[in-house]
Structure 1
């Protein structure tokens, strides 16, 4: 019996990126199908879609209309597409008129700490669910600390990380690194530091790409 092929996967994404939620759910489904074939070591890498946003955020519909030069009908049509794709991978996308978009830098700092604690995927999924499914403020330290606790982390330590500004330098450094490597849009899934799978692909696209990469890595 052959051993699973180890693959390092850097998943570059933002907490407020809907296609990142779709992509992560798709990637995890693909990896379930590849169980026994590949052994994935997933690292979450930070990317801020809207680093200039104030902590209180702003109306998401107005933000998208201004950012992309589209009207409210196009915003809602895009949301319908995302809602359908998200549902196909078991993720509930509930963004609507009245939803807000927030600054995600503190969420990325908390995710950096969570990776050191081995709970980064649990926290990432809690953050995506809190934002896209439940409409919560993912810039709020109270919300972030609660989600950390729900993800199996120490809530008091999470509050300390948030209040002290810990890991800000590390997050900025990782953001610069992947920008320098040419990442301009997310999600971006980088396998073994060289193979890029762009966008929130369906599970079968991830599965085929990872099979091919694993096969080439085995030669």
Structure 2
């Protein structure tokens, strides 16, 4: 059994991150018995300056990427189909609004110290809330409901939200990955040196992990 350190750099606001995580999970299932993951979720904000209340999704995508409503519908359909392949069901019509995700990243940093698989469980709960149910991911009650769904301590998470806990640590990690050249997500980094970019199919992750674990790729 080979253990691979996997840093999954991503944002809850990124639908492709839900696709990429599902594909990575399926690849690891296929490699069960041969490859074991030491998985860490690292912060990346697509919209770090998004104000409270967020912005209409269509308006945001048009401003940021210049896409039309028709193009956005087509992309949403593509993402939904890719999500279905890895068992993730996106909310029909998209997320509705784009929100600031910094508090979610603070809670994910906190969850990393709450036991094995705690951070992974919370990441999935956040993705289900925002991408799956189009809930307001900047709302404290939505965040705490996800904490409860992940089986974590809601009172401890509330204390994090009521303070500036983990703010400096999240900022530091964001800066580290930005300086390392990460400009888009998901960015999956294996053993601190091998990069798999984007919401790749299961087979791409499986092949890459197998080659790295076997030493074929040094």
TM-score band by shorter chain is over 0.9
TM-score (norm 1): 0.96
CA-CA distance at 1:109 after TM superposition: 0.1
What pairs with 1:22-171 in structure 2 (closer than 5 Å)?
Answer: 22-94=19-91, 96=93, 99-118=96-115, 119-171=118-170
Alpha-carbon contact 2:188-2:197 (below 8 Å) kept: yes
4+ residue stretches of structure 1 with deviation over 3 A? none
**Residues 64, 216 of structure 1: CA spacing in aligned structure 2 closer, same or farther, 3 A cutoff?**
same
CA-atom RMSD in angstroms: 1.4
**Residues 170, 22 of structure 1: CA spacing in aligned structure 2 closer, same or farther, 3 A cutoff?**
same
In the aligned structure 2, how far is the partner of 1:71 from the partner of 1:125?
30
What pairs with 1:159-198 in structure 2 (closer than 5 Å)?
Answer: 159-198=158-197
Q: Deviations over 1:115-158 (max 9, x none)?
A: 11131000000000111111101111111112111101111111
Segments of 5+ residues of structure 1 without an aligned counterpart are: none
In the aligned structure 1, how far is the partner of 2:127 from the partner of 2:60?
19
CA-CA distance at 1:55 after TM superposition: 2.2
Alpha-carbon contact 1:61-1:98 (below 8 Å) kept: no
**Residues 98, 5 of structure 1: CA spacing in aligned structure 2 closer, same or farther, 3 A cutoff?**
closer
Q: How many residues align?
A: 216
TM-score (norm 2): 0.96
In the aligned structure 2, how far is the partner of 1:122 from the partner of 1:7?
19
**Residues 217, 167 of structure 1: CA spacing in aligned structure 2 closer, same or farther, 3 A cutoff?**
farther
Alpha-carbon contact 2:19-2:86 (below 8 Å) kept: yes
